[in-house]
Structure 1
């Protein structure tokens, strides 16, 4: 009965999507006005491409945004290195720029089609993928069902299920089973994630660790770094990165509290969404804090209180300017943000307690002494002050973070091993077809 009910629900989802398809143009147009879509590439969201499918085997890799894209870039590089064509889809403009920056024309980039049958079918008709690789928690029902109907193997890599997502799927376990039975393999980030996918009906499930650990540290413009370091000089610095609404106000409070002990203190605030920068700059200035916005090319002077990191793709710069970083979405919001990048760059990590989405990473960092959780503004101010005053403890946390990341590495080879049964036949096919073309 539950299986029939799941089929009925998914059929209803398919029909509702088909009915809504003619109406989504307004939504895409609105996103374009907000800079969330590229005007000249909007048709890709409907599964329409100007790019021809290349001959030979092709793997479709999908990652939602910048974080997920960064995680699978080494994996995509390896697959493309085997001579297999890759079409890499993402859902955001920033992640599209990242893919182009990392791969140029070596990998085809497209915006992911809307999870509506006409768009997904058109995309699959055009690209005809031999394998689909989905990153983390991108569970799109229509896409999964259409791939399943076409007998295209689909593998979820770096699989993750947050507490909230798992609870939601558990309430609809019959639907989860009907979807997850289409997955050929789930490669989970942690044992807990693996258990959750198994509980929802996924088979087989293996555990690789987090692919984000096997990425390179965020890059930096060395000239910009030298200029910023010269401007800052020997001032004490701490940073609040990937902050969400309410956490910037906490960072300003902490700045005012800690400045009483460290009069030359500079605070770097890097909001998760830079489009909030106008509001944040006005709020800081309203408190009498002298604020410099990175996006406007301002210079940090001796009187600067806040460096507002309102640019995209410069996290490597901001983290190299400090030895102490509070990682946001953990105090006023839930879930946390990725602590691995600051750990890679030898940063003492502070965080609120709401880090459910990165539980495994934080657990390992805390056990090794690379991170510390704080409960509120006053505890954060106390921790920042303590680390600024205690170089030995700060250095200990910084080194512990790097050591933890090094111990966690190995997700990429484990993921490649899980993918081997699906990738190897494509390698053989690519070599045979390439040999055939050369002999003509």
Structure 2
């Protein structure tokens, strides 16, 4: 199939925009503490070697959540492919930082190259992937077509596009078909998305429903020494957690906490905003609410009426301190955040009503008693109060969360085996 006009136009535009994108992205990476050498990975200059004589499987994911979601899958594929090397690419400094301490055996991380001819040519010449797996919604035209041109087998897992994105792609059927035909297998999160991919002109015989692979990621890492210190600092105080909160949500959480303090005066709230760089802003909100606080970025341990957990990579630690976790991004029209990480820790999940990104997941978890949707801050306070007062109900809810996770981990081997077969990798 010849390249459609939109693809050729994007190639031309990318060549013009590349110098500007390089300058902006390098500056952003440097501000985040990334070295100049590693920043040059964005223009295709590798900083890790490719092992000779072994197959290389490349996983590309954009965000922190997507990157972490594939680690358990890579580890399981590594069991079946004991000689393979795995490359993970992502776009953000935060994903690189978190992956650095959690990479499976025989795996390396690089920043993804720009979707432009020069960076991709250098990247593919160095890495020579035998297979490539794209996660969720990463449809970069040149990355897909240039990888396909090398002869590498390709798959998409956890495929998820918004209704708006799918509608936009359906307006350009030739371009959509040109990009989606590269995949030997497309595993979607649900039946609706599977039909959506077919409607976008993906080859119907290569599209299948998978599962949300974020449910198969292992538990978040926990520093055992820090956990011991945190528990010692809290003593016998009851604790609840509000994590991944966004601007406009902390006020509702803090109001709920003030209500709870009326009946649970020694209750501690661990508040972990989605973006730790908002720490000072959130600290001012806490102080403005008349609540005492300690702050993790100052080196503090939980204390005061609110503990501001404004650091990156420590959510697993805070989840281990409580049976009750409220997940943000759900009281506002954001779409919700990953409830699997909470359930992995054995905690009960509370969430606001706006969970479009995880609708099916929350439906299943609520049915099993592993999660509960709350309407607003007042409803949140009432639900947390009930759980704090009823040990049996809280224990039952946490058991349901663990059972939910255990019921899904058995699917991991099936997904790994299916990918190995579709990508024509030899165990």
Normalising by structure 2, report the TM-score: 0.92
Please give the alpha-carbon distance, in whole angstroms, between the structure 2 residues aligned to 1:33 and 1:424: 39
- Unaligned 5+ residue runs, structure 1? 428-440
- Following superposition of structure 1 onto structure 2, how do residues 6-405 of structure 1 map, counting pairs within 5 Å? 7-35=4-32, 37-56=34-53, 57-81=55-79, 82=81, 83-103=83-103, 106-203=106-203, 204-301=206-303, 304-405=304-405
From the superposition, tell whether residues 189 and 345 of structure 1 become closer, same or farther in structure 2 (CA, over 3 Å).
Answer: same
Distance 2:375 2:10 in 1: 42
1:396 shift after superposition: 2.0
Tell me the distance in 1 between the aligned counterparts of 2:56 and 2:417.
19
CA distance 1:251–1:167, change in 2 (3 Å): farther
Residues 111-130 of structure 1 show CA distances to partners (whole Å, capped at 9, x for unaligned) of: 11011222112211221111
1:220–1:46 CA distance, 2 compared to 1 (3 A): same
1:137, 1:36 → 2: CA distance? 27
Q: Secondary structure at the residue paired with 1:134? A: strand
**Whole-angstrom CA distance in 2 between matches of 1:30 and 1:193:** 37
Aligned-pair CA distance for 1:146? 1.4
User: Equivalent residue of 1:394, what SS?
Assistant: helix
SS at match of 1:87: strand
Does the aligned pair in 2 maintain the 1:90–1:111 contact within 8 Å? yes
CA distance in 1 between partners of 2:32 and 2:254 (Å): 29
1:272-322: CA deviations, max 9, x gaps?
111111111122123221111112112434xx1111111111111111111
For 2:376 and 2:318, the matched residues in 1 are separated by 23
Contact 2:4 2:174 in 1 (8 A): no
- Kept in 2, the 8 Å contact 1:221–1:317? The answer is yes
Q: Secondary structure of the equivalent of 1:102?
A: coil
Indicate how the Cα distance of structure 1 residues 187 and 233 shifts in structure 2: closer, same or farther if over 3 A, else same. Answer: same
RMSD, aligned α-carbons = 2.2
- Over 3 Å counting, the alpha-carbon distance change for 1:136 and 1:216 in structure 2 is same
Q: How far does the alpha carbon of each residue in 1:356-396 deviate from its partner, in whole angstroms, 9 at most, with x for none? A: 11122111101111111112121112212222222222222
- The runs of 4+ residues in structure 1 deviating greater than 4 Å are 171-174, 422-427
The SS at the match of 2:101 is helix
Paired residues in the alignment total 422
Query: Partners of 2:294 and 2:164 in 1: how far apart?
Result: 37
8 Å Cα contact 1:211-1:411 kept in structure 2: no
Counterparts of 2:404 and 2:169 in 1: how far apart (Å)? 32
> Which whole-Å CA distance do the structure 1 matches of 2:276 and 2:161 have between them?
27
Change (3 A) 1:325 1:187: same
Alignment gaps of 5+ in structure 2: none
Q: Cα offset for 1:52? A: 3.5
CA deviations on 1:157-199 (whole Å, 9 max, x unpaired) are 1222334433443444443222111222111222222222222
For 1:143 and 1:268, locate their aligned partners in 2 and report how far apart those are by CA, in whole Å: 41
Whole-Å separation in 2 of the counterparts to 1:387 and 1:265: 13
Task: Find the residue that maps to 2:332 and give its secondary structure.
Answer: coil
Question: Structure 1 pair 190/325, CA: closer, same or farther in 2 (3 Å)?
Answer: same
417-426 vs 313-322, which moves further: 417-426
Cα distance change, pair 132–277 in 1 and its aligned pair in 2 (3 A): same
Spell out, residue by residue over 1:107-157, the C-alpha distance to the aligned partner (whole angstroms, 9 max, x if none).
222111011222112211221111111112212122112123333221011
CA distance in 1 between counterparts of 2:392 and 2:172 reads 51
